[in-house]
Structures are given as structure tokens and as C-alpha cells.
Structure 1
Amino acid sequence: MTKQQHIGAGEAGGYEEAVRIPVFPDKTFYVTDFGAVGDGVTSNTRAFNVALEVCSSAGGGTVVIPKGLWLTGPIQMRSKVRLHAERGALVTFSRNFDEYPLIRSNYEGLKAMRVMPPIYGENLTDIAITGPGIFDGSGEAWRPVKKFKMNDRQWKEIVSSGGFDDGNGMWWPTKEASEGRQVTEALQAEGVTDLSPYEPYKVYLRPVLLGFTSCNGVLLDGPTFQNSGSWCLHPRLCEHVTIRHVTVRNPWHSVNGDGLDLDSCRYANIHDCSFDVGDDAICLKSGKNEQGRRIGVPTEYVTIRDCTVYHGHGGFTVGSEMSGGVRHVEVRDCTFIGTDNGLRFKSTRGRGGVVEDIRVSNVWMKDIVHSAIVFDMYYEIRQEYAEMVPVSEETPIFRNIRIQDTYCTGAKKGIFLRGLPEMPLDRLTFERVTVSADEGITCIDAQQIVFREVQVHAKSLPAYTERSCSDIRFIGADGEEVRVPQHPTA
């Protein structure tokens, strides 16, 4: 049996062992030797990128950023290069939009024209960013702000700073940014691939902080990544990705301020990281709708462990862009404090794709705003129930997922499961799960669901409700089937 066949069997620990960590030649280059000045004023765009290019051309090695304040435009990574930010190094990315070219890229699972990420790499082999330094994306220059997330004083300060108040509860950095969605979506619908018509709306096409595409051998070890214009870390179509001892920070109100979006990647380890962000914290994706299905690259063989999330729409999330599939994932020994949702699985009709073989264990959650555990196939749909439609390639499938030894104290909803009438959630197992919440367990359009040694401490009656479900089983510690809980504590 090959190693790939072995880990495909889902043996515990197999995914983590299969990930290759890049190794770099013992050569060191300092950005200061290429004219970089750490005064917070001098632009170091050229110096940084020349240092990376020279290092790569010499066969690879380490480029060192010493302590200091380093202002720069986009950093374009090179193969066989480790970029090391020493303690005390603060890399701040320029607020000058002209430094950021538009590129043909992908965003939220679809082809898109986007601004080049401040840290950018494509089709590279063996790249790393290491050290205890900080990379700040100057996201406030790019991001819109929603009025309802601000108090009156904060909103007045933002509006008085300049930019554009659209009168509909949104502040934008420029008037063109407020017009960007309508114009750029029309250009894309017309099939316009020339970049120049998108240029006036560049601020709307705000960048992720770190965007690596089709890279093999990626290591992020030690830095703080913060204040991104959009998502923070976005590896896409990458293999052998290791992210460890990393801190990811975004303002809680940051629009699309995701922490990590692992997108159509294979063989990935994420461990000993901390997230405090404005949207989903640790998220697995694989493309959206027909485009995602056509590319057909799942996110698979992923281990996530020993991570802490302080704020985010979801602590650990799958979807909603999961059309290429997500499978062979292990999540363990994580803590979520104050997130909107804890374990969040989301999709909707049109996505298609299969999410399966996911194992979650030893997750501790506290003060969850909405649901401790949620599976919901009605993402961004306001209706409560849908009529059955024929199953097609657009039908999302979630099956064979196990959550065990998981605990939550404080949530609005304990466990909320809502599949589709034509494709119920299938073969979900909850084992030794204890939840204290305002509401208990809700099951809608689900089948073959097992609750084994599950304790629900719900404030409201009933502690369990279901609709259009089959084969829902509650099993006690002795292995015997028990009565469906209907009282506040079950």
C-alpha cells in the first residue's frame, strides 16, 4: 500500500505525517544590503523584491528583514526563498494604490480581477515566511465599513476622515469603490478580460494580505499577519502547506476579514495558531458553483490542531464555497472563545460538491453568539424551509462527519442541523458532546444521525426538535438507545 493510499484510508495521524516541510539552503541575504531602510518612510518595494530575486537566482536561501519599520509595496515571493522577519520588524504595506497592479485571479471561489496581494506568489516551489515579525496590510485603506457595526462616535470619525458615505449604511474609501461591484460584475458578465476597464475600481477589488496560488511546499512559521484589505491568508491550489505558530489579527468589524481560507489545497497542517478576526477564522473552501466543480480540486488531507480563536463568524468553517469538495480532515484540540459560531458547516443549492470524512475532537467553546455546532444548507437564504427539487450536480452533499469529546458553555443554539429536502444531511455522529445553550438540538432534513452520550443543557423547551428526519438515534453511555430528550436538561 502506498503512502497516499494509506492516508486516504483516514488513519489517525496519517494526514499530518504526509505533509512535506520545505528546507532551504544555508545562505543569508539582508534586505539592508539591497538598499532597504527601516525608517517607516522610505519605500522598500524595489529593495525587498531584488533581495528575493537575487536569493532565488543564487539557488535559494533566507532573506532577512531586521528590526525596524519597513514600508513597502507588494512583495513577490520567489522559489526556494525563506523570508525571515526578525523580532521587532514591522512590515507595513503601502497605502498608495498605484503600487498594486491588477491581476487575473480568483476570489470567493470565482475567477476575478483583483489587486495583487501585498504578499504574492504563483507557481512556486518551496517558499516560507518565518520569524516573530509583523506584516500589516494597511487594510483600513481598502475596506468598506458597515454603519451598524459602529457606534455614533466611530461612524462620525470614519465619515469625517474622507472617503464616501453611500447613504445606505456603508462607508467606502472612494466613490469608485462604492460603484465597484455593479461595474465590475457587469464587465465580467460581458467577458471583459482586459484589465484597464477595471482600473478605476481598483479599491473595490481590494487584496487579500497573502495570496499563494499553485505553490508546492509552503511554510508560514512565527509571524503575525494583520489588518488585511480582505481575507488575510489565502493559499489556493497549493500542496504541502504548513502554517504553525502564526497569529492572525483583523478588526472585528472588517468586511470579509477572514483569517485563513485554505482553498483547493492538498496536504496541509495548521497548528498552534491564534486567530482574532472579522469573519470566518479557519475556513476550508474549494471553489464556487460551476467554476468550482469544473476545476474539481478538493481540499483534502488536512490537519488542524491546537489553535485558538477569539473572534470570528466561525471558529472552524467548511464552505460556503466548497464545490470542489472537502474531505479527509482532522480537527482537534482547539479552543473558540466568543466566536459567532463554533463549528460551522455551510452551503446552499447551486454549489454541488461533497463534504465528507471529517473528524472533530477535543474542541472547547465558550460564549458562542449563535450556534455551537451548525450544519446549514440555506446559506444566505432567508426562507426557513424549501420545497424539494430534483437532485443534480448543483446539490451539495454533507455526509460521514464525526464530532466527539467537544464541549460548549454558553450559546444561543446548541446543535443546529438543516439539510435540504432532496439531500438530507447524512451519517453525522456526535459522541460525548456537552452543550449548554438557550436552545438545544434542532434537526431538519437529516438522516442516520447518532447522538451518543450527548448532554444538552437547554434553557427553553423542548430540548430537541426535528422536522422531516429519519433514523435519529440517541444512545446512552451503556450503549442502549435512550428516549429523545424533551426537557431542558437531557
Structure 2
Amino acid sequence: MKKIVSTIFTLIFIASSSVYAQKAKQPEYSWTNLPVIAQTSFKADTISIVKYGAKNDGFLLNTKAINDAIIACNKKGGGVVLVPSGMWITGPIELKSNVNLHLQKNAILQFTRDFSQYPLVESNWEGLPQMRNQSPLWATNQTNIAVTGFGIIDGAGDAWRMVKKSKLNESQWAALVATGGVLSDDKKTWYPTQQSLDASKMKNPGEITKDKTPAFFASIKDFLRPNLLVFTSCKKILLEGVTFQNSPAWNIHPLMCEDLTVRNVYAKNPWYAQNGDGIDLESCKNVLIEGSTFDVGDDGICIKSGRDAAGRKRGMPTENVIIRNSTVYHAHGGFVIGSEMSGGAKNIFVSDCSFIGTDIGLRFKTTRGRGGVVEKIFIKNINMTGIVGEAILFDMYYAAVDPIPLKGDKREAIKVELLPVTEETPVFRDFQISDVVCDGASKALFIRGLPELSISNISINNLNIKSKEGIDIQEAKNINLTNININAATSNPLISVQNGNVINFKNINYNAAQLLFRISGANNSEIKTSGLDAAKATTKSEFTAGATEKSLQINK
């Protein structure tokens, strides 16, 4: 009996030790211990698409020739498939393992505007399983693949996208309407086809359900815009040097991929491109983005991991990501997390990036229903100029609208209510942001959590910013702001806190303030300052909506 008990104890000990060992293997990443990304490697063997019948006359559809070259290269054990200089018209291209699709200088891979060349396939749209048109450039379950070189990959997105009148001037709008297409009932949106307009009036038309037949999906095909590049469940990927532009929807979309390097690419879309994101990393692991430029119609560099129940069921966070030495011009956000982040995100390192003219600089967005945990986000050495909205924004009330209201937009105020915490409640915590310079923004910092679950553990150090408005913190706890220098044109108040707990302001410098602090709400506590000269403010503090003076302690 003793022997049996001893054996059971030993087995339990071994099992628990094994679990502990597995946990111990998980590295604790930091700026001095960054994730390691496995790299691609290819044979020098080169196959030109010309060998398989491709012609750069601007007329011939080269779909078969290019795919045949890729298949042949793959069967030979891999190598380089060469796209020479010239204009190459093509339909969808499928990349295979061990193949590097290389574009020479002055090579344009132009995807056709003929929708019939793109078959309908079961795919993914904004984090949910959906029927879509086949992506122009795609791969699934492949290993060691690359798109490299010096050429341009054009997704013919202007043939697919709707366009809002408010995003064009009168001459541009008139020229667009003259090309054909149809207008929405209110004449404010242009659609390329009647089919696209009709489908836009439906709720989730691309969602795959038992009652939807192939005939139904065919009837709304024009509306089901593909992302330009979609790699799904692939490993060891390199995107380098190439320009990806004019995407029907998102530009670059790695989905559930591992060991991805994106280096010196240019993602380009018109600023009015609906859903025209630059790059969306969705449920990916081990990623490096460096030396790249984004100038697009939606979010620039974005982290995602699925939407709502589907994302939580997948349960794959985007993790172990390094983003550095990159520039974002026009975009809804420079570096963005969300809003489809239901699988979570962690161990993200962003450094030495510039955001020039983006709507929002650092943008972290989610909403009730998503669930998911976003944590261990590290950001430093960020330069911004001409930011239209907030320089830094955390918002758990994302409403799927443009971050900056367009002319004529009518938006209702957020309805604040306390709801139970469930698996659908999203979590933002453990962000470290340092060394940010912003020359011009609408607001310096905006943090808005949920009444039932505060945004927590946010540390922002060495922020220097010129903005119209100062700092707005709502439903947050354990927020530390240190060495903050704000020149705010409007400072009534300079700092607003609503239901904040353990909020520390250390070494805050400002030009002037009519009202320094406005504290509102009955759930404030331990709001403290040190190294702050309150004498420069006309009025030090104001307490509203149940807030009391004991919640704020101002120390020099």
C-alpha cells in the first residue's frame, strides 16, 4: 500500500513538475530580451514566369502562367519565381512552400478588374468566418514563403470599393460618378455596381449560414471585397521591398501565421479607401515589422485576433511582435490594437516610429462583446506631427465609425451604464509608453474604460506634446503619468478625471490652465500629484457629479 501511495505521489510530482517546466519555458520578454523570429531561406534556382507563357503586353491574363511557375518551383524543392520588369495582368496567385516570388524593378503585378476571375471562397472578414472573393495573393498552410523585390503589386481596389462623397472634393466626386456605378439612396455614397449597393443594405450578407445558398452568395459577389494579400496558417514568411497598393479591402493580412518578417515594404491606398488598412496582424505569433511605410485609408499598423465569440473560440492571441523604424502617414491610426481583439494580444514592442498626419497616433480600441485580454504592450521613441485627433487613445466604446467625424456626421453621446463582467468584457492592462513627442494633436491623452472594468496599469513617461486639449481619463485605475510636458491651447480643464483610482501625476509641466483639474463621479480615490506647479492655473480644481475634494491631493 505504501508503495502504491508513493508511486501515485511520484506521478503527481512528475506531472506537476512537467507543467511547471512548460510554464518556465515561456520567456519573459523585455526590451533587452525581444522575441526571436525564424527567417526564410531559399534555393538560388530561378524560374521566370516568361518561361511559362507570361506576357507583359497589358492585355494577356497571366494567371495560369504565374501559378504554373510557382507550382513548378515548389515541386523542384523551391527557389525564386521571377516577375521581370513590365506590366503583368493576372488573376489570383497562390504562393507555395519554399517559393520566393520576386519582382524586379519596374515590375507591376496588376490584378484584374474582372470580378469573374475571383472565385467565392470560405474566408474571413474582420475577424469572422465569411464568404469572400478569393484574395489576389494568397497562401494557406505553407512554409518558407516570400514576396520580395522592388516592384508593385496592385490589387485593383478602385474597381471594388464604395466611396463616400464627404471624402472627395466636388471635382473628384463628379469625375468618379461619371465613370459609372450607382449612388446610394441619399446620394452620399458611390458604389461600383448595383449588386454592391443592394448587398450593403443587408445585415452581415457574407456570413456563412445554413439558409444561404451558393446562388445567394453569387447574387452579392460584387460586395464581398477581398483583402489584397492573405496568408493563412503559414510559417516562416518574408515580405520585403515590394509596394502593396490599391487593395479592395485590407492590404496585407497575415492570419494565424508564425515567424513573419515584413521589411522595407510600402503599403499604399487612397486616404478615402474604405477598410483600406495597411497591415493587419491577426492571431499571429513571432513577427517583425521594420523599415516600412504605410499611407492608407484606414488603420496603418494594426493588431487583431478575431471578433467576439468566434475570436474567443479560436483563442489565438497576436503575440511576440516587434515593430520598429517605420512611418505611417495618412491612416485612422498609426499603431493600433483592435477592435477585433477577442483572442487577446500580448508581448508587443513598438519603437522608433513616426506618425505624420494620422487621425490618431497610438490607438487602442475595443467594445463590449469582444472579450479578450490586451496586455504587456511596450512602446517607446515615437514622433508624431499633425495628428488630427488624439495623440494617445484608449477607448472601450469603439463604435465602428471614422475616428474623426466627417462633415454632416451626427453622433450620439456615449451611454454610460454599469453592466456585469462576463467573458464578453474586454480587458486593457499593462501598457508602458515612453519618450513620445507630438507636435500638434486635438487631444494629448484620452483613456476611457468601462464602469464595470477599468483600464488598468498604464504607465506613460516622457511625453512632450502640443495639443488643443490636455488629458482626459475615465474609468481607469493604477495610471502613472511621469515627466509630462503639455502645451494645450484649451485648458478648461487641463486634466479631467472621471471615476479614477490610484492616478499619479509626477512632474507635470504645462503652459497655463484656466482650470487645472476637473474631478467627476462618485468613484474617485487616490488621485495624487507631485512636481506640479498648481499656481500657474487660474483655478486649481473643480468637483462634480458626486466627486469630493478628498479624492485629489495636489503636492508640489
Alignment partner of 1:370 out of 368, 377, 389:
389
Amino acid at match of 1:71: I
Q: Residue in 1 aligned with 2:520?
A: none
Alignment partner of 1:444 out of 474, 478, 489:
474
With over 3 angstroms needed to count, the CA separation of the structure-2 counterparts of 1:313 and 1:181, relative to structure 1, is: same
Amino acid at match of 1:473: N
For the residues of structure 2 that align with 1:15 and 1:200, how far apart are their CA atoms? 48
Contact 2:504 2:529 in 1 (8 A): no
Amino acid at match of 1:233: I
What is the correspondence of 1:52-71 to structure 2 with a 5 Å cutoff? 52-71=70-89
For the residues of structure 2 that align with 1:7 and 1:412, how far apart are their CA atoms? 41
Across the aligned residues of Structure 1 and Structure 2, the Cα RMSD in angstroms comes to: 2.2
The offset of 1:457, in angstroms, is: 1.2
Q: Residue in 2 aligned with 1:41?
A: 59
Q: Residue in 1 aligned with 2:409?
A: none
For the residues of structure 2 that align with 1:323 and 1:142, how far apart are their CA atoms? 28
> Based on CA coordinates, which of the two structures has the bigger radius of gyration?
2
With over 3 angstroms needed to count, the CA separation of the structure-2 counterparts of 1:195 and 1:212, relative to structure 1, is: farther
With over 3 angstroms needed to count, the CA separation of the structure-2 counterparts of 1:127 and 1:396, relative to structure 1, is: same
The offset of 1:187, in angstroms, is: 7.0
Where does structure 1 lack aligned partners over 5 or more consecutive residues?
none
Q: Residue in 2 aligned with 1:110?
A: 128
The offset of 1:191, in angstroms, is: 2.9
Percent identical pairs in the alignment equals 42
For the residues of structure 1 that align with 2:389 and 2:165, how far apart are their CA atoms? 21
1:233-259: CA deviation from partner (whole Å, max 9, x where unpaired): 000000001000100100000000100
When structure 1 is superposed on structure 2, of 167-176 and 421-430 the one drifting more is 167-176
1:379-412: CA deviation from partner (whole Å, max 9, x where unpaired): 0184335111110000010000010011101000
Aligned pairs, number: 489
Contact 1:15 1:267 in 2 (8 A): no
For the residues of structure 2 that align with 1:207 and 1:184, how far apart are their CA atoms? 18
Q: Does 1:466 align with 2:497?
A: yes
Q: Residue in 1 aligned with 2:483?
A: 453
Alignment partner of 1:262 out of 281, 294, 305:
281
What is the correspondence of 1:63-462 to structure 2 with a 5 Å cutoff? 63-168=81-186, 169-183=188-202, 185=204, 188=207, 190-192=209-211, 194-380=213-399, 382-461=412-491, 462=493
The offset of 1:189, in angstroms, is: 7.1
Q: Residue in 2 aligned with 1:476?
A: 507
For the residues of structure 2 that align with 1:51 and 1:242, how far apart are their CA atoms? 24
Secondary structure of 1:56's counterpart equals helix
- Deviating 4+ runs (over 6 angstroms): 1-4
For the residues of structure 2 that align with 1:191 and 1:22, how far apart are their CA atoms? 41
For the residues of structure 2 that align with 1:96 and 1:189, how far apart are their CA atoms? 24
The offset of 1:152, in angstroms, is: 1.6
For the residues of structure 2 that align with 1:387 and 1:379, how far apart are their CA atoms? 15
TM-score, L = length of structure 1: 0.96
For the residues of structure 2 that align with 1:192 and 1:125, how far apart are their CA atoms? 36
With over 3 angstroms needed to count, the CA separation of the structure-2 counterparts of 1:189 and 1:58, relative to structure 1, is: closer
Contact 2:250 2:278 in 1 (8 A): yes
Contact 2:244 2:251 in 1 (8 A): yes
1:444-468: CA deviation from partner (whole Å, max 9, x where unpaired): 0011000011111111122111111
Contact 1:464 1:484 in 2 (8 A): no
1:38-59: CA deviation from partner (whole Å, max 9, x where unpaired): 1211110010000000000111
With over 3 angstroms needed to count, the CA separation of the structure-2 counterparts of 1:189 and 1:224, relative to structure 1, is: closer
With over 3 angstroms needed to count, the CA separation of the structure-2 counterparts of 1:201 and 1:440, relative to structure 1, is: same
For the residues of structure 1 that align with 2:437 and 2:215, how far apart are their CA atoms? 52
With over 3 angstroms needed to count, the CA separation of the structure-2 counterparts of 1:487 and 1:89, relative to structure 1, is: farther
TM-score, L = length of structure 2: 0.85
Contact 2:120 2:132 in 1 (8 A): yes
For the residues of structure 2 that align with 1:470 and 1:253, how far apart are their CA atoms? 40
For the residues of structure 2 that align with 1:59 and 1:192, how far apart are their CA atoms? 44
The offset of 1:200, in angstroms, is: 2.1
Secondary structure of 1:393's counterpart equals coil
The offset of 1:201, in angstroms, is: 1.4
Where does structure 2 lack aligned partners over 5 or more consecutive residues?
1-19, 401-411, 509-527, 539-555
Secondary structure of 2:55's counterpart equals coil
Contact 1:360 1:404 in 2 (8 A): yes
Contact 2:131 2:206 in 1 (8 A): no
With over 3 angstroms needed to count, the CA separation of the structure-2 counterparts of 1:372 and 1:418, relative to structure 1, is: same
